[in-house]
Amino acid sequence: MITSKTQLVGLLGHPVSHSQSPLMHNAAFAELGLDFAYAAFDVEPERLGEAVAGIRALGIKGVNVTIPHKVAIMPMLDEIDPLAQRIGAVNTVVNRNGRLIGYNTDGTGYVRSLVEETGIDLREHVVTMMGAGGAARAVAFTLAEQGVREIRIINRSRERAALLAEHVGTIVPTAVIDPADGKAAIADATLLINTTSIGMHPQVDEMPVQADWLHPGLIVSDLIYNPLETCLLKEARACGARVHSGVGMFVNQGALAFELWTGQTAPAGTMRDIVLQQLTKTSS
Ligand code: NAP
């Protein structure tokens, strides 16, 4: 029950009606008996400043930030965590006694889920990454900081890939690969990550690479979680590769935000179950 003591957190995005975050976080608060409530706010880009002033005025404890506000919100905050600064985007804001601090939990959430679900030692892996957008930046920086052997970036617009490679290349060897040379860049890679939106609902039959570029020596990881198993993951499984879906990243980025707001360990199992239940329902 919401009372005058309830602490409010939420999501700023546009649109937000499809978001699983309110369901996931409210289930987690209920599980731990925390007096918190999570709401989704549809904020048009030109009203983001007003929304941030609203967080301060209303004493909202924190928010998640999603498309299209992850970069635009940065100058409106009082402090940016160093990892979020390096990534160049914020997906979580914490209100600490009136000071708004921006974090990015996407990359750490991704890596936590990848390692938990596959048990791999990242330092042994050569990564080929499809895409160079916001999620790619978070994933590439975090993988680089975890010490992967090499990162190859393939993206439709080369300039975006080159900019990301320039930054990540200061941490680990990083190359920009032309999409036409994708087959060779995957042939001797051990981890293939799709960070593009290719294959996401409703374009569920599309793939970011050709099926015959996949091989059994790969772990194939897709950031997309709707559908739960993308066409890329189906083809990867069929050729004998190991697969990793985007659900774990979604749950873990949420769990890390939960921990920043509440100071408590998030019930990640409950969060995962409720998201899987909802996604299975909506995709059937
Ligand atoms: P974004 O910043 O808009 O980046 C989109 C990326 O996809 C860019 O690299 C873009 O290439 C590429 N792309 C899009 N359409 C393409 C097409 N038709 N052909 C070739 N490339 C195409 O978006 P984002 O925030 O990084 O999100 C990317 C994906 O990650 C989405 O599917 C999103 O749902 C998923 N995601 C998942 C989680 C999670 O928790 N599991 C979290 C964040 C994001 P260009 O640079 O050439 O435009």
Query: What confidence score (pLDDT) does residue 284 get?
Result: 56
Query: What confidence score (pLDDT) does residue 281 get?
Result: 84
Going by CA atoms, what residue is nearest to atom 12 of ligand 1?
A: 196
Residue range 47-62, pLDDT digits in tens: 999 999 999 999 999 9
Structural contact between residues 39 and 6, judged by C-beta atoms closer than 8 angstroms: no
Going by CA atoms, what residue is nearest to atom 9 of ligand 1?
A: 131
What is the overall mean pLDDT for the chain? 96
Query: What confidence score (pLDDT) does residue 29 get?
Result: 98
Q: Which atom of ligand 1 is nearest to the CA of 106?
A: 42
pTM: 0.95
| Cα 126 to ligand 1 centre (Å) | 21
Token pair of 225 as six digits: 């979680």
Mean pLDDT in residue range 228-252: 97
208: Cβ contacts below 8 Å, ≥ 6 apart: 130, 131, 194, 196, 198, 199, 232
The answer on pLDDT for 260 being more than 60 is yes
Is the Cβ atom of 221 under 6 angstroms away from ligand 1? Answer: no
Q: Which atom of ligand 1 is nearest to the CA of 157?
A: 47
Q: Which atom of ligand 1 is nearest to the CA of 132?
A: 9
| Cα 197 to ligand 1 centre (Å) | 4
Residue range 65-117, pLDDT digits in tens: 999 999 999 999 999 999 999 999 999 999 999 999 999 999 999 999 999 99
- Half-sphere exposure at residue 233, Cβ-oriented, CA atoms within 13 angstroms: 21
The more confidently predicted of residues 256 and 134 is 256
Mean pLDDT in residue range 147-164: 97
CA distance 168 to 69: 23
- Which of the residues are catalytic? 70
Structural contact between residues 205 and 124, judged by C-beta atoms closer than 8 angstroms: no
CB count within 10 Å of CB 14 equals 15
227: cis peptide before it, omega within 30°?
A: yes
With CA atoms as reference, report the closest residue to 204 among 186, 183, 225.
Answer: 225
The more confidently predicted of residues 122 and 134 is 122
